[in-house]
Structure 1
Amino acid sequence: LAGKNSHHIIEATFKAFARSLRQATEFDLRRQGSIP
């Protein structure tokens, strides 16, 4: 990460973490009925 404003760097880090967590825990309708 690069930037001058530490607030924006931290904000971007948390936003990326939240998006990855959401993607990891949501249902994938394409895999419906299969065992992971």
Structure 2
Amino acid sequence: MMAVAEARAGHPKSVAREERTMAIVGKFLTDIESE
């Protein structure tokens, strides 16, 4: 979590990529649970 805070402070592009990755992972997990 600290790495996220540091990225948020100085690397907006890194944060955007991380949030997009988390969204993909979340969708993937949701798809697994729905089967």
Normalised by the length of structure 1, the TM-score is: 0.60
Q: How many residues align?
A: 28
Choose 1 or 2 for highest CA Rg. 1
Whether the aligned pair in 2 keeps the contact of 1:2 and 1:9 (CA below 8 Å) is: yes
Which runs of at least 4 in structure 1 moved beyond 6 Å after TM superposition? none
More helix by share: 2
Query: Structure 1 residue 17: deviation in Å?
Result: 0.3
Normalised by the length of structure 2, the TM-score is: 0.61
Q: CA RMSD in A?
A: 2.2
